[in-house]
Structure 1
Amino acid sequence: MNVHQFLLILLARKKLILAVLAATVLLTLGYSLLQAKTYKATASVLLNYKGVDPLTGLTMPGQLLPGYMATQIDIIGSKNVALRVVDQLKLASSPAVVAQFKEASDGRGTVQDWLADLLLRKLEIVPSRESSVLEISFKGADPTFVAAVANAFADEYQKLSVQLKTEPMKKASTYFDQQTKQLRDNLEAAQARLSKYQQEKGIVSLDNNRVDVELSRLNDLSAQMVAAQSQSIEAGSRERMANGAGGSSPDVANNAMVQNLRVSLSMAESKLAEMGQRLARNHPQYVASKAEVDQLRRQLNGIVSNVSSSVSNNAEVLRQRENELRSAVAAQKIKVLELNRARDELGVLLKDVESAQRAYDATSQRLSQTRIEGQSEQSDISTLNPATPPMAADGPRVLFNTLVSLLLGTILGVAIALLAEMLNRPIRSPGDLKESLGIPVLGTIEWNPPRRYNSAGLKNLLNPRRLRLN
């Protein structure tokens, strides 16, 4: 179908199109005139939302901002807000409303839910373009009532937004309160274990000075033991030489008494030898000189024996000192190791106390914050323009409905004309004949309707037919 054929159809079905258009306009006009007047009241609320919590100072993620306005629209249009409006305006307490509810729903459900659904049907929420203002509009037959409902929706939305923000904080505050008590018990238990361990180990201070002192003492004892070992080894060598070599021992040879006795014994022996050359062995002088030599020799042997015994005793003392120092070093090592182990265990207990303290402090801080947030009545929503009773009716809009009916009636008439044409397709142009029969058109005969002349009794004259070849 081309444009020419479409225009031919419209021309042929113009009466049908005009009849449908007239019927549509008349029905719309009659319906608009029969409708009762409706009034529309609008309350504007401002959302002061900048992505930053005014209480905690925390910044919300940027990807949550685009959906914030849509979320607030859903909250305003929720059943919860509508039920709050019903309770605020005390709509369910009216006997007439209760009677209407029973008649409309046969007593099924509750009157609050029924009224909430009715309010939501007439509620309109429109966000302003590129701003944070929401317009809450309500339509009804009473100007005062629609203004009251619009303001009630704005007020209850503001209260609900505060409640939605504080209720999670109150629940979190209860949870953090329980966790704080448990963490306090854990901290007290950790501190009790630390105190008990300090009492058992006799740890007065928590610093490392004691370990350093004991370690320094161990180093001193080790140095003394090394020196004692050297002295013991040297004394052992002297002891062996004194017991084995006797007079050739350095300790014996360097003894003053031994040296004096050796000098005296040498002089006495020289004197005895000289007397032996002059006197007989039984001579009293010789006998006296020999007795003196024997006495000096006995004294020398006794002193040598005493010096050797002294060297042995000195060696034994040094060995005992070495053993004592070795025992002291071993005991000091055990003590240092015990202190290191105690320090390590004490460090673990201290870390447990510090961890418990940090957890308790963090939870206490979070508890204080959530408790403040749960008690805060601050809201980022404020009423910009409260609704007032409208002076003029919002509907029915007769002129607008008439214009719309003209457009819809025209479209409907054209559609009905096309449908009628499809059900009974006549031949209106050579193109229709070609499409219907599938044969080319050789020529057309133009026919003009006869003209009637009603004056002077003339007969109707017919125009002659004209043949046109294609």
Structure 2
Amino acid sequence: MTPQQLFIILRARWLVVFIAFMLVVVTTATVTLMSGKQYTATASVVLDIKPDPVTGTMAGMAATGYMATQVDIIKSDRVAKRVVSNLRMDTNLSVQSQWREATNGRGQLVDWLAALLKGNLDVKPSRESNVINIEYVGADPDFAAAVANAFAQAYIDVNLELRVDPARQYTGFFDEQTKAARARLESAQKALSDFQQANGITSTDERVDYETAKLNETSSQLTAIQAATTDSRSKRSRTDGDTVAEVMQSPLINGLKSDIARLEAKLIEGSVNLGKNHPQTMRAESELAELKAQLASETQQITNSINTTYEVNRQRESQLQAALSAQKSRVLLLNQQRDEIRVLRGDIESAQRVFDSVSLRASQSSLESQTSQTNIAVLNPAIAPAFPSGPRVKLNIAIAMFLGGLLGVMLALSLEFANRRVRSADDLHELRDVILLGSIGPARGMMKPAAGAAA
């Protein structure tokens, strides 16, 4: 269809277009003028996104969907019911009567009122900011402002409850965990104390160091005694006592040996000069015998002292071996006790860490459950609007004119296609088996009166 054909059709059916146009415009204007005035009140709240003063965390405030979540909270039934409760709308007798007429008493009055309030509510978060605008549309400007402010306050209260209620639940849980952790810590401390008292332990490390030093000292003494015993045994095993170092180094024995040698030389000389039976020779022999007897006695005494020393060393060695064995057992026992004490102390440290961690979390939960502050504040409270926001007469009539004209055109085209007519030469081209021979223009203006007739 060409624009010329469309124009011809609309000109032919202008009455249909006009009637449809006027019906839509008049109806819209009538409904708009008869509808009551609407007032829009706006309350603005701002969200302060900063670390929580109790926990020091952002608590999800910087998440991408945080603002959308807050908008959903404002639009939630919980907030709407809180508004109904704060405004005491459910106690109004006229409201109760309206609810009975609308629902025949079915359901809950609070739910019905909350649904009505949500129907006139609009929540708009600001772009690139933390401000949320709460708009409410009502027939009464004062009521609209009151509801908008009530939604803002209810949102703040519900947001605080959403933080405090879980914290209160966590507080009870962590209190029980703190008691259990304290009981485990006290049990571990008591186990260590009982073990120390049962074994008489005051300072394990110092006692182990002392007993270890004593063990080393006993081992050193045993080594020295074993060396002395070995030396005494080797001296004792020699058959010739004159080769013993103590005998060879004794001044008395060396003196006796010198006297014996001198007296033997004198005796040989006396035997040659005086004879064996001479009194001097016999006296010399007697003195020599006494010196040899004294030498043998001194040598025997030294040998006996070596034997005595050997026996004493053997006895001392046995005592030191017994003492060393006992000291080893004592040190091993102390090491075992120290290991057990380390295990018990490790249990105490582990229980202490758990107790400290749970106590800290319990304290944080307790503070969170007692907080009365939130990160939301009313930026601009709603005030009663002085001018209505609706209905918009000019806008509605302009839209009605557009829609009425469009409806008239569509209706005219529908009637035309339902009963198609030839209104121009272009319409003949659309018909099949029809040849256009020519066209006659409109007769108006073609026939002119003659000059004589006019006269």
Show the counterpart of 1:53: 52
In structure 2, the residue matched to 1:354 is 349
Q: Assess if the C-alpha contact under 8 Å between 1:37 and 1:141 holds in 2.
A: yes
Query: Residues of 1 paired with 2:290 and 2:437: CA distance?
Result: 186
d(CA) in 2 for partners of 1:50 and 1:320? 88
Match of 1:468 in 2: none
Give the whole-Å Cα distance in 1 for the aligned partners of 2:152 and 2:259: 134
Contact 1:17-1:414 within 8 A present in 2 as well: yes
Q: Which residue of 2 aligns with 1:35?
A: 35
Superposed counterparts of 1:428-439, under 5 Å: 437=432
Range with greater deviation from structure 2 (156-165 or 296-305): 296-305
Superposition CA RMSD, Å: 3.4
Q: Paired residue for 1:405? A: 400
Q: Among 255, 262, 266, which residue is 2:257 paired with?
A: 262
> Deviation of residue 174 (structure 1)?
1.6
- 2:21/2:405 contact within 8 Å kept: yes
Does residue 368 of structure 2 align to residue 373 of structure 1? yes
CA distance, structure 1, for counterparts of residue 230 and residue 221 of structure 2: 14
Retained in 1: the 8 A contact 2:60–2:66? no
The answer to whether residue 243 in structure 2 is matched with residue 237 in structure 1 is: no
The higher-RCO structure (CA 8 Å, 6+ apart) is 2
For normalisation by structure 2, the TM-score amounts to 0.85
Judged with a 3 Å threshold, the aligned counterparts in structure 2 of structure 1 residues 86 and 123 are, in CA distance, closer, same or farther, namely same
* Alpha-carbon distance in 1 for matches of 2:185, 2:268: 100
Q: Give the CA deviation at 1:107.
A: 1.9
Q: Call closer, same or farther: CA 1:289–1:305 in 2, change over 3 Å.
A: same
Distance 1:128 1:270 in 2: 139
- Partners in 2 of 1:112 and 1:60 — Cα distance? 32
Alignment check: 8 A CA contact 2:89 2:95 kept: yes
2:19 equivalent in structure 1: 19
1:71 to 58, 69, 72: 69
AA of the residue aligned to 2:380: N
Q: How many Å apart are 1:117 and its aligned residue?
A: 0.9
Q: Deviations over 1:371-425 (max 9, x none)?
A: 1221111122222332233333333222221111122223333444454555555
Q: What letter corresponds to residue 40 of structure 1 in structure 2? A: T
Render the CA deviation track for 1:254-304: whole Å, top value 9, x for unaligned.
Answer: 333433443444455556556666788788777666555544444433332
Q: How does 1:157-236 map to 2 (within 5 A)?
A: 157-205=155-203, 208-236=205-233
Q: Distance in 1 between matches of 2:314 and 2:4?
A: 137
- Kindly indicate whether the alpha-carbon contact (under 8 Å) linking 2:44 and 2:382 is maintained by their aligned counterparts in 1: no
Alpha-carbon shift at residue 121 of structure 1 (Å)? 0.9
Aligned-pair distance for 1:61? Answer: 5.4
Structure 1 position 446 matched with structure 2 position 455? no
Kept in 1, the 8 Å contact 2:49–2:61? The answer is: no
Change (3 A) 1:425 1:353: farther
Letter in 2 for 1:113: D
**Secondary structure at the counterpart of residue 25 of structure 2:** helix
- Look up the match of 2:89: 91
Q: How does 1:300-339 map to 2 (within 5 A)?
A: 300-339=295-334
Matched residue, 2:118: 120
CA distance in 1, matches of 2:308, 2:6: 145
1:446 is paired with a residue whose SS is: coil
| Pairwise CA distance, 1:178 | 1.4
Contact 2:45/2:152 (CA < 8 Å) preserved in 1? Answer: no
CA contact (8 A) 2:253 2:298 kept: yes
What does 1:143-158 correspond to in 2, within 5 Å? 143-158=141-156
Q: Which runs of 5+ in 1 are unaligned?
A: 457-470
Residues 213, 135 of structure 1: alpha-carbon distance in 2 compared, 3 angstrom cutoff: same
> Partners of 2:428 and 2:227 in 1: how far apart?
139
Identity %: 40
* In 1, Cα distance between equivalents of 2:4 and 2:226: 132
Equivalent position amino acid for 1:397 in 2? R
CA–CA separation in structure 2 for the residues paired with 1:170 and 1:196: 39
| 1:7 CA displacement | 5.0
Change (3 A) 1:55 1:257: closer
| Corresponding residue of 1:107 | 105
Distance 1:450 1:5, change over 3 A: closer
Quickly say closer, same or farther: Cα 1:344–1:424, change in 2 above 3 A.
farther
- Partner SS state of residue 377, structure 2: strand
Pairwise CA distance, 1:38: 2.7
Normalised by the length of structure 1, the TM-score is 0.83
Q: Is the 8 A contact 1:21 1:409 kept in 2?
A: yes
1:326 to partner: Cα distance:
3.7
Distance (Å, rounded) in 1 between the aligned partners of 2:3 and 2:62: 52
Aligned to 1:464: none
Consecutive unaligned residues of structure 2, counting only runs of 5 or more, are: 450-455
Q: For the residues of structure 1 that align with 2:202 and 2:91, how far apart are their CA atoms? A: 76
Q: 1:326 to 1:436 in 2, by over 3 A?
A: farther
Q: Which residue of 1 aligns with 2:452?
A: none
Deviations 1:337-364 (A, max 9, x none): 3333333332232232222222222322
Whether the 8 Å CA contact 1:139–1:146 is kept in 2: the answer is: yes
**Whole-Å Cα distance in 1 between the matches of residues 317 and 146 of structure 2?**
106
Structure 1: how far apart are the matches of 2:145 and 2:243?
Answer: 133
Query: Counterpart in 1 of 2:242?
Result: 247
- Match of residue 80 from structure 1: 78
Aligned equivalent of 1:466: none
